[in-house]
């Protein structure tokens, strides 16, 4: 007999788009929650059209939306709003990351919702919070990277660089996920259903705390020095003789001594006053890096990593995405699973969620087509076939029949 998933029996209704909210709800779905994704008729979540690289589907959307049910509803119509309200009456969690003020205009703010549904846990994901002079501003991932100062410490001395993933969205989605789990626990133990609020800015601000402390109390912010660590040296990539970059990290004086004697073949550097302590090595980074670079120019990457391993120094080849996909740590630990995507004859590979719970197999169900579950959900709410056809004709739900959209569940 299969063990029930931890969130089995929990229903989540989500007015979500793009990244932050879908990431939070997908993780709830991984643990067994029923997630009903409410999308606009005529195309659904705009993240569906970010690209077409995964068998015709968007890479973002495939990553963020497996194991969900898709319902199309025109929430500008009264009947669409009524259907949403019916769903909320039996739901445990409501998640939204609509434009600033949109939820309140639809009477879907936390206070209004909990007045009607006291056991419902509302989760609001915003750009800069729901109060203050910035609350009405749009906030996309790169804008928040700018506002938190992340770009000012990322990149080369000559040019800042965007972090290569949607780090503000991801951090907000993670805090929304953990906040919802905490709220569900609070409701289970006390009966009180706390509302959850997360902003992209405040989520990424938390992740910026180390450089913030360094700047506030050190007087200057960490420099922007590419792939080198701003406050530890040597800690960064060095090019071996075969052209492969190998990153190494020195964390303490014992490792520095081992690097000098075993890898560099220059034990006398441990007595060099310019390199005696971590702070000294940061202050004389150019000299330290020059010594390491000179030795790496004599070594192939495999030989360099073998010597670093012998010295007990953490190291890694600087992988491409293709090398990451083929990583033995993923294959040997059986981390890949097949999932279905709309309209594709072949499945795609998805990674298991990173938190392993003993005795629990996470759900890895298909990515839904837009509106794929509309008829099923409305039927469960008591709508007849005639009602559903009328709603479709009125544009309250999608005009295309669900089975014609290349439904992924088949």
Same domain, 120 and 199: yes
Please report the pLDDT score of residue 410 as a whole number. 34
Please report the pLDDT score of residue 400 as a whole number. 60
Same domain, 343 and 380: yes
Number of domains in the chain: 2
Contacts of 32 (CB under 8 A, 6+ apart): 4, 5, 6, 7, 8, 9, 10, 363
- Ranges assigned E (strand) in 174-327: 196-199, 235-239, 245-249, 314-317
The tens-digit pLDDT sequence of the chain (410 residues) is 567 899 999 999 999 999 999 999 999 999 999 999 999 999 899 999 999 999 999 999 999 999 999 999 999 999 999 999 999 999 999 999 999 999 999 999 999 999 999 999 999 999 999 999 999 998 999 999 999 999 999 999 999 999 999 999 999 999 999 999 999 999 999 999 999 999 999 999 999 999 999 999 999 999 898 888 988 999 999 999 999 999 999 999 999 999 999 999 999 999 899 998 999 999 999 999 999 999 999 999 999 999 999 999 999 999 999 999 999 999 999 999 999 999 899 999 999 999 999 899 999 999 999 999 999 999 999 999 999 999 999 999 987 644 444 444 33
Q: Say if pTM beats, i.e. exceeds, 0.85.
A: yes
Is 214 part of a structural domain of the chain? no
Please report the pLDDT score of residue 274 as a whole number. 93
Q: In which domain, by residue range, is 371 found?
A: 11-208+335-405
Please report the pLDDT score of residue 230 as a whole number. 87
For residues 92 and 95, give the distance between their C-alpha atoms in angstroms, rounded to a whole number: 10
**Strand-pair category, 314-317 with 245-249:** antiparallel
Same domain, 313 and 340: no
Task: Using the 3D structure, point to which of 272, 289, 317 is the last residue of a domain.
Answer: 317
Same domain, 110 and 256: no
Tokens of 196: 């959850």
Residue 62 backbone phi and psi in degrees, to 5? -60, -40
Is 28 part of a structural domain of the chain? yes
**Spacing of C-alpha 305 from chain mean position:** 31
Is 195 part of a structural domain of the chain? yes
For residues 45 and 49, give the distance between their C-alpha atoms in angstroms, rounded to a whole number: 8
Degrees to nearest 5, angle at CA 95 with 363 and 344: 45
């Amino acid at each position: 007999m299969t063990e029930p998933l931890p969130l089995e029996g929990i229903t989540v209704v989500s007015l979500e788009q793009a990244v932050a909210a879908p990431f939070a709800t997908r993780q709830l779905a991984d643990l067994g929650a029923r997630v009903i994704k409410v999308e606009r008729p005529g195309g659904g979540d705009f993240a569906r059209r970010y690209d077409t690289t995964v068998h015709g589907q968007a890479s973002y959307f495939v990553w963020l939306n497996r194991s969900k049910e898709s319902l199309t509803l025109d929430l500008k119509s009264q009947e669409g709003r009524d259907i949403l309200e019916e769903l909320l009456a039996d739901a445990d969690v409501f998640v939204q990351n609509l434009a600033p003020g949109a939820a309140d205009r639809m009477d879907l703010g936390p206070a209004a919702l909990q007045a009607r549904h006291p056991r419902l846990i509302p989760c609001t994901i915003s750009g800069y919070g729901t109060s203050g002079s910035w609350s009405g501003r749009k906030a996309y991932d790169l804008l928040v990277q700018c506002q938190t100062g992340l770009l000012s410490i990322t990149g080369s001395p000559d040019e800042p660089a965007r972090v290569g993933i949607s780090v503000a969205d991801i951090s907000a989605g993670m805090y929304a996920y953990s906040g919802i789990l905490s709220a569900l626990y609070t409701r289970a133990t006390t009966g009180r259903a706390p509302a959850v609020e997360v902003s992209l800015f405040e989520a990424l601000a938390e992740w910026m705390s180390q450089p913030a402390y360094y700047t506030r109390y050190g007087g200057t912010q960490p420099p922007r020095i590419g792939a080198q660590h701003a406050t530890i040296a040597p800690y960064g990539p060095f090019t071996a003789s075969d052209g492969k970059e190998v990153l190494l990290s020195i964390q303490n004086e014992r490792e520095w001594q081992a690097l000098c004697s075993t890898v560099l073949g220059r034990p006398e550097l441990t007595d060099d006053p310019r390199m005696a302590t971590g702070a000294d090595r940061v202050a004389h980074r150019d000299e330290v890096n020059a010594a390491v670079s000179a030795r790496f120019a004599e070594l192939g990457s495999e030989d360099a990593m073998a010597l670093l391993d012998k010295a007990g120094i953490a190291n890694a080849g600087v992988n491409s995405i293709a090398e990451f996909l083929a990583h033995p740590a993923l294959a040997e630990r059986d981390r890949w699973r097949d999932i279905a995507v709309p309209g594709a004859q072949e499945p795609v590979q998805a990674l298991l969620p990173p938190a392993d719970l003993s005795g629990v197999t996470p759900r890895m169900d298909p990515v839904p087509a837009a509106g794929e579950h509309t008829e099923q959900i409305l039927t469960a709410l008591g709508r007849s076939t005639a009602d559903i056809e009328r709603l479709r004709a009125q544009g309250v739900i999608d005009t295309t029949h669900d089975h014609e959209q290349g439904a992924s569940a088949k």
